[in-house]
Amino acid sequence: MTGRLIVLTGPSGVGKGTLLTALLARHPELYLSVSATTRSPREGEVDGTHYYFYPRDRFEREIAAGALLEWAEFAGNYYGTPIAPVQAQLDRGRSIVLEIELAGARQVASIFPDALRIFILPPDLQTLETRIRERGTESEAAILSRLEQAQVEIAAQAEFDFQVVNDDFEIALAELDRLVSPI
Ligand code: 5GP
């Protein structure tokens, strides 16, 4: 069986991370790509587990070396997917999940047209704002930038193969589970 590339996109605060953790618990065969970023670690985030935390010059060297499958700037920081682990997993026939924002998802779609692309939606913008604020990890400027970007991303939802609304967590998880399960 060949590995599949699965792309999960959706606005900041929509609950992608929590959904993914639950999805991976149900699907141990799925491998989650660890992204690189220049943003500072949040409390509890571990380098190499949640992200590879790079200074900007290191990130720019990775771009120049062609070491990233895709990358984008989001709310003032760089984010990107190291290419080597993705290639290694696909070569082994394992499926890999990328949790990335819109510009990166578009790059992946042009490189891997067969990737399964799923967009996670909030029930509405007000709920999204409440979730981001309750997380309490971002400055006011970062919150506003993320909310602005959320509207841009939501407007592009139709580019994705499937849309999943994260209103009731269990329903959203069941839907995701169905989408990633081999037929
Ligand atoms: P956060 O700072 O909240 O962890 O992530 C901000 C945004 O960056 C989220 O939408 C997340 O999906 C996206 N992101 C995380 N890793 C990557 C990546 O490797 N590439 C791209 N393009 N976006 C990423």
**Record: fold of 5-180:** Rossmann fold (3.40.50)
Q: State the alpha helices, DSSP H only, in the chain.
A: 16-26, 56-64, 83-91, 102-111, 125-135, 140-155, 169-180
- pLDDT tens column, 127-148: 999 999 998 888 999 999 999 9
User: At residue 141, what is the residue type?
Assistant: A
Residue 156 has pLDDT above 80, yes or no: yes
Selection from 123, 118, 119 nearest residue 168 by Cα = 123
Q: With the C-alpha atoms ordered 93, 95, 96, 101, is the resulting torsion angle positive or negative?
A: positive
User: At residue 30, what is the residue type?
Assistant: L
Nearest residue by C-alpha to atom 2 in ligand 1 = 39
- Beta bridge pairs of residue 160: none
For residue 35 and ligand 1, the question of a CB distance below 6 A is answered with yes
**What does the alpha-carbon distance between residue 145 and residue 27 come to, in Å, rounded to a whole number?**
33
Predicted local confidence at residue 1, as pLDDT: 53
Nearest residue by C-alpha to atom 11 in ligand 1 = 100
Pocket probe for ligand 1: among 43, 47, 49, 74, the residue whose CB has the most ligand atoms within 8 Å is: 74
| Mean confidence (pLDDT) of the chain | 95
Domain ranges of the chain: 5-180
